[in-house]
Amino acid sequence: MIRTLDDLDCEGVAVGVRIDINSPLSETGLADDARLRAHVETLSELLERGARVAILAHQGRPGDDDFSTLAAHADRLDELLSFPVDYCDATFSAAARERVAGLDGGEAVLLENTRFYAEEYMEFDPERAADTHLVEGLVPALDVYVNDAFAAAHRSQPSLVGFPQRLPGYAGRVMERELDVLATIEETPQPRVYLLGGAKVGDSIGVARSVLERGLADTVLTAGLVGNVCLLASGAELGTASAEFVYDQGYWDEIDRAGELLDAHDELRVPVDVAIERDGERHEIPVAELPQETETPAMDVGSETVAAYSEVLADAGTVILNGPAGVFEEETFAHGTRELYSTASEADHSIVGGGDTAAAIRRLGIDGFSHVSTGGGASLALLAGDSLPAVEALDE
Ligand SMILES: Nc1ncnc2c1ncn2[C@@H]1O[C@H](COP(=O)(O)OP(=O)(O)OP(=O)(O)O)[C@@H](O)[C@H]1O
Ligand SMILES: O=C(O)[C@H](O)COP(=O)(O)O
């Protein structure tokens, strides 16, 4: 059983809250604050109920351009919440403990990027994670631990799995809602249609295999780079440019895995036409007529595919979307994503998983979905039927 905020007495209690505000950055700070907004509900509720809140979070990966302090994140949280949020440039040292000890009820401090410490970028089993400096250092300052970081729940890192070994653990509102929806897919209305696109080919083929083998999917529609790999697996001539793009990424195993799935499951569908760039313009070609030599790769599904897939989506009881249908960042290749997502948003039950997918619907201005997940890898893991270490760590 996982306890939630409904089970927590907050008044004067020091609560360590792990959130996921890992965000795209610009030169001046945050380029997008969607992930911060997602946690406003949990943080506000704790603060309103009188908790003293120490916030834990990561930003980027060591060595990457977006690996940064959380100062800008603290400023933005302070603006978004009607409670004060301070920033502390320490995470588990005496300085961090003192800042937490000095909080009054209704006050919060955002501690420094957990990944500034090497242990946090390693994966441990929960017992071992509880012995790390990060957890041991901060636990004396805290009474309880709340995990709201669904988007990082597929990582077995100390701030995610270690604290609930030492402190009573609770799921925050984001975590609770995500699990309510994504961990109970098998109870949603049928026919259940998965639209898998985007560029994480290995992950998407894994999801396709899992949902087909478990009988969860009535139809799996493929698009984006995932669709291109499935087309190659089906024996289609996709043109030299697309094939080279796929081979350059080393997707040999994925082509084999997609081929096995296509042989075993008629419910797995591939595009019938694609869009490429020719003379600076969008040009649609049926797959059967694609010339062997192409200068540009397939960047979107074509209108025939959109029409065929839309029929399936319009009849669906539940639609699950992961990954855009094309390179939606370029208007020329946003057509497939815009049309298919708009149709999908009209289904009785529509679930969107994946960080880039959520960015695509915001950018294209499509709304009306039943649930838009905050997680990329975490939602994919759940959709593929895997358990999440940080969720297991909360389970009593
Ligand atoms: N045909 C294509 N060729 C190349 N790239 C494509 C194609 N179709 C879509 N993409 C790219 O796929 C990317 C998004 O795919 P990704 O699998 O990362 O989505 P996601 O699962 O929502 O994201 P994440 O898991 O990172 O949160 C976009 O940047 C888009 O441009
Ligand atoms: O953005 C994400 O998917 C999560 O914050 C996890 O980040 P990671 O992939 O760097 O562990």
ipTM: 0.92
Residues within 6 Å of ligand 2 by CB: 20, 22, 61, 151-152, 155, 355, 376-377
Domain range summary for the chain, segments of one domain joined by + = 5-177, 184-383
Give the integer Cα–Cα distance in Å for 363 and 31.
Answer: 13
Asked if residue 337 has its Cβ within 6 Å of ligand 1, the reply is no
pLDDT tens digits for range 132-144: 999 999 999 999 9
**Residue 35 is assigned to a ligand binding site:** yes
Confidence of residue 8 (pLDDT cuts 50, 70, 90): very high
CA distance 60 to 67: 4
pLDDT tens digits for 309-323?
999 999 999 999 999
Q: What is the pTM of this model?
A: 0.88
Q: Do the first three CATH levels of 5-177 and 184-383 match, i.e. the same topology?
A: yes
299 CA distance to ligand 1 middle (Å): 11
The reply, when asked if residue 157 is annotated as ligand binding, is no
Q: Stretch 56-81: mean pLDDT, rounded?
A: 97
Quick check: 355 pLDDT over 80?
no
> Which of 348-352, 359-363, 376-380 is the most confident on average?
348-352
For residues 10 and 27, what is the distance between their CA atoms, to the nearest angstrom?
Answer: 38
Q: Which CATH architecture group holds 5-177?
A: 3-Layer(aba) Sandwich (3.40)
Q: Which residues contact 343 (CB under 8 A, 6 or more apart)?
A: 310, 313, 314
Over the stretch 225-255, which tens digit does the pLDDT of each residue have? 999 999 999 999 888 999 898 988 889 899 9
Q: What are phi and psi of 53, to 5 degrees?
A: -110, 120
Q: Which fold has domain 184-383?
A: Rossmann fold (3.40.50)
pLDDT reading at 160 higher than 90: yes
Of all protein residues, the one whose alpha carbon is nearest to atom 4 of ligand 2 is 152
Q: Is the pLDDT of residue 217 over 90?
A: yes
The Cα–Cα gap between 49 and 42 comes to 11
Does residue 198's CB lie within 6 angstroms of at least one atom of ligand 1?
A: yes
20 annotated binding-site participant: yes
Tens digit of pLDDT for each residue in 298-312? 999 999 999 999 999
Distance (Å, rounded) from C-alpha 155 to C-alpha 125?
Answer: 10
Phi first, then psi: what are they for 348, rounded to 5°? Answer: -55, -40
The per-residue pLDDT for range 19-61, each reduced to its tens digit, is: 999 998 998 899 989 999 999 999 999 999 999 999 999 999 9
Give 322's Cβ-side CA count (13 Å radius): 31
Structure tokens at 311: 């029929």
Short-list 377, 331, 335, CA closest to 356: 377
Q: Which residues of 376-396 are buried (b: 16+ CB within 10 A; e: fewer)?
A: bbbbbbbbbbeebbbbebbee
Q: Atom 25 of ligand 1 has which residue's CA nearest to it?
A: 376
Query: How much distance in Å is there from the Cα of 279 to the middle of ligand 2?
Result: 38
Name the region of 385 (left: φ>0; alpha: ψ -120 to 50; beta: rest).
left
Given a cut of 80, is residue 101 above it in pLDDT? yes
